[in-house]
């Protein structure tokens, strides 16, 4: 279902399919403050998904790198919600970045000297 070079087609298909599955699973609509929370989440997914597919098209291993940054962004924003970030979470994030970096092939565009 992925169309190479068409991130603006791939992103909505990915988000819509996940949203439909979640809606069928839950069988209820959001109520009260969950409406705006759902909208914020959708803006996040709607903005992240095209970037994920653009990275997948342009960078070797780019999708893995972009997807791997999401937990670190959440962790960085945790203090804004009054949540303390623990050292084990930081260590796990560093290990994950190192692991993804080890899997990404060297850039073919690099030149010597």
Q: pTM for the full model?
A: 0.43
Which of the given ranges, 16-20, 32-36, 60-64, 66-70, has the highest pLDDT on average? 32-36
Instruction: Answer yes or no: is pLDDT of 113 > 60.
Output: no
Instruction: Give the residue with greater pLDDT, 54 vs 62.
Output: 54
Tokens 């009260």 belong to residue: 32
pLDDT, one tens digit per residue, over 2-24 is: 666 677 777 777 777 777 887 78
CA 17 and chain centroid, separation: 16
Per DSSP, the residues of 11-67 read HHHHHHHHHHHHHHHH-S---TTHHHHHHHHHHHHHHHHHHHHHHHHHSTTHHHHHH
Instruction: Answer yes or no: is pLDDT of 109 > 60.
Output: no
- Residue 94 CA to residue 88 CA, distance in Å, equals 10
């Amino acid at each position: 279902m992925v169309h190479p070079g068409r991130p603006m087609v791939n992103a909505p298909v990915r988000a819509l399919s996940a949203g439909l599955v979640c809606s069928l699973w839950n069988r209820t609509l959001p109520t009260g403050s969950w409406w705006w929370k759902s909208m914020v989440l959708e803006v996040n997914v709607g903005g992240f998904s095209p970037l994920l597919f653009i990275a997948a098209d342009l960078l070797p291993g780019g999708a893995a790198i972009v997807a791997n940054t999401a937990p670190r962004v959440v962790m960085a924003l945790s203090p804004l919600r009054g949540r303390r970030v623990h050292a084990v979470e930081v260590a796990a994030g560093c290990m994950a970045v190192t692991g993804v970096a080890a899997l990404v092939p060297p850039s073919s565009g690099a030149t010597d000297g």
